[in-house]
Structure 1
Amino acid sequence: MVDADRLHDMSTSPLSDQELAALPVAYGTAMGMLERAGIRSGETVLVTGASGGVGLALVQLAAARGARVVALTSASKTAALRDAGASETLPRNADPADLERRLAATAPEGLDAVADVAGGPWVEQFLPALREDGRWVIAGAVAGPVVTFDLRRLYLHNLRLIGSSMHTRAHFSALADLARTGIVRPRVAAGFPLSDIHAAQEAFRAGTHVGKITIVP
């Protein structure tokens, strides 16, 4: 049993049950990041780990609010990220100097924000790409939880470093409103019946999918 204010009527949503089931965690986390960082229409945003669950949600949700999304991903998943709304993609396994040149060419005036789900060396590498008053919002550290960067870059350019853990009820209500319109549709990479849950786990471990893997009872 849950309180009535925790329920969201999705009967008018054009999304399928599997698509709706993919919303709460990854898309909720992404919505919290975008809201806390104040991502707006017309801004250029770099998304790290863009092919993962939260990363893909960030691409879709940021594009839906009119942001220009630059996605950092593997070359094999570039097409899927463009389909999700990314304006540009960057290969995460490129040489660091080459990656910086590509980013500079893609966003010559700098980035308004970075939505980061990886952490690690990306913080030190991409922090200089943030323009004045830029924001870096982070909700993960799979690439490394301990980082180094030049504090002078942070305060001399009035940058903001924002931590974001999950989402609030207000964030999820906004996400539910989007789901009712169908503006954002979670990408379901594959669906398995409950009897094939081991096959679903193997598909997840293979890491070749983009989107959510769902289990249908």
Structure 2
Amino acid sequence: MVISGASGGVGSAAVQLAKRRGAYVTAIAGRDQSRLLMDLGADQVIARDDALVATLGRESVDVALDVVAGSGFPALLDVLRKGGRYAVAGAIAGPLVELDVRTLYLKDLSFFGCTFQDDVVFENLISYIERGEIRPLVARTYSLAEIAEAQKAFLSKSIVGKIVLEIPAWEMQK
């Protein structure tokens, strides 16, 4: 399995969930984030600016989980084997992608959008956290007043994990 954007909150959770299910996980992230991702369970980390197809080879993986989209999308399809599955849960690099539809049907790929899940999925996720099987990765917490700095940190792509905004109690009561 290959996971783009593996250093973010969704990506780092995906790494842990995939490992929990026994997958061999290739994470795509910044070069300086390799150690943390390996600590989370990734078997291999590829720098986001490296050539994915040259590194992994064509038709070398069964599943791609993409939280980035944008210009890296075609390479994810190139590394998928015939009958492979592509799931998307984000588009940080841009929502518009280039798709040669022949790739989709000639490789018999399945595409999945991942936003809504049944309640039992959330319940299971919480139980994994409670049992210590996976751990949410919080990169940094900011006050609501620091929202501009939080956005800069997010856009820097230098963090690993989720950014949390603390909302003052008085704001929640409005």
Per the alignment, do residues 148 and 90 of structure 1 end up closer, same or farther by CA in structure 2, a change over 3 Å counting?
same
For structure 1, the residue ranges without an aligned partner over 5 or more in a row are: 1-44
Partner residue, 2:61: 111
1:67 equivalenced with 2:23 (yes/no): yes
Partner residue, 1:183: 133
Distance 1:202 1:71 in 2: 27
Partner residue, 1:161: 111
Distance 1:216 1:147 in 2: 35
Per the alignment, do residues 113 and 203 of structure 1 end up closer, same or farther by CA in structure 2, a change over 3 Å counting?
same
Per the alignment, do residues 143 and 216 of structure 1 end up closer, same or farther by CA in structure 2, a change over 3 Å counting?
closer
TM alignment of 1:45-194, pairs within 5 A: 45-94=1-50, 96=51, 99-104=52-57, 110-191=60-141
| Counterpart contact for 1:90–1:103, Cα < 8 Å | no
Deviations 1:143-183 (A, max 9, x none): 12222222222222221011122433121011122123111
Equivalenced residues, count: 164
Query: What SS does the aligned partner of 1:134 have?
Result: strand
Identity in percent: 38
Higher RCO by CA contacts (8 Å cutoff, separation 6 or greater): 1
| Counterpart contact for 2:68–2:94, Cα < 8 Å | yes
Distance 1:200 1:145 in 2: 23
| Counterpart contact for 2:70–2:92, Cα < 8 Å | yes
Distance 1:213 1:122 in 2: 24
RMSD, aligned CA:
2.2
| Counterpart contact for 1:131–1:157, Cα < 8 Å | yes
TM alignment of 1:24-43, pairs within 5 A: none
Query: What SS does the aligned partner of 1:146 have?
Result: coil
AA of the residue aligned to 1:179: I
TM-score, normalized by length of structure 2?
Answer: 0.82
1:81 deviates by 0.9
TM-score, normalized by length of structure 1?
Answer: 0.67
Large movers: runs of 4+ above 6 Å: none
Query: What SS does the aligned partner of 1:51 have?
Result: coil
1:123 deviates by 1.8
Distance 2:29 2:121 in 1: 26
| Counterpart contact for 2:129–2:136, Cα < 8 Å | no
| Counterpart contact for 1:61–1:184, Cα < 8 Å | yes
